[in-house]
Amino acid sequence: MYPAFIMYSPYMWIALPGILFMLWAQYKVSSAFRKYSRVPARSGISGAEVARILLQARGIDVPIEKVAGQLSDHYDPVNRVLRLSTTVYDSSSVAALGVAAHEAGHALQHADGYKPLESRNSFYPFAGFASKAMLPLLLLGFFTGFSIPFVLYGLVFCFSAYALFALLTLPVEFNASSRALALLGNTGILTADENRKARAVLNAAALTYVASAVYSLLKLLEILMYTMGAGGDD
């Protein structure tokens, strides 16, 4: 969702902290998941079973599908399907149960009409359009030396959309994690110590969304400064 803005500009250094933050956040979530995926939960139930228990407790009938990929877990609000990666769907580790409960938390948000989720979903088409427009704008800019104002203004729009979508995502992800940890503790699926370990995984995952928001805002600042500089050269 957040492709790198590849072009030379004298302001490229602005986004460097965001890139480093994203790399560090990705390392943290991979490290935390890998560490706690080796810790079996005392309940012995799988990630798919946890998601099903939490949804059925609220009377929510949402299909749970297994998908390929590492940490590719997500809730699809359009088709109302919860998809869990193989390492989460079949696993009974503390990490897997935390991730499965987090995704179930998104389904619960949807059922509750959680306003931040509705806002993010409403804005998603704009972010999707910006994602599709990015590559043509970059190619056009590359062949024209980014000298066409339309290209620069288009990139401003794209990164404005990315930044806003990233900001709208933050409360949705934090709330889903809070719901997950509360449900896992209240239902006794995880012990207090296991819940603490699951929290470490979900906090690390949340950090990646914070990093994406920071990166998008810094990239937006970079292209704005580049655009103003280009305009001043005319």
pLDDT tens for each residue of 167-211 = 999 999 999 999 999 999 999 999 999 999 999 999 999 999 999
Q: Give catalytic residues, as residue numbers.
A: 103
pLDDT (0 to 100) of residue 178: 95
> Which parts of the chain sit beneath pLDDT 50?
1-6, 231-232, 234
200 in a structural domain: yes
1 in a structural domain: no
6 in a structural domain: no
Domain count, the chain: 1
138 in a structural domain: yes
Burial per residue of 189-212, b for 16 or more beta-carbon CB atoms within 10 angstroms, e otherwise: bbeeebbebbbbbbbbbbbbbbbb
7 in a structural domain: no
189 in a structural domain: yes
Which range of residues forms the domain containing residue 163?
12-233
179 in a structural domain: yes
**Gyration radius from the chain CA atoms:** 20
pLDDT (0 to 100) of residue 1: 45
pTM confidence score = 0.87
pLDDT (0 to 100) of residue 14: 87
Containing 174, the helix (H) or strand (E) segment is: helix 149-186
Rounded Cα distance, 138 and 171, in Å: 31
5 in a structural domain: no
- Residue linked to tokens 């104002």: 149
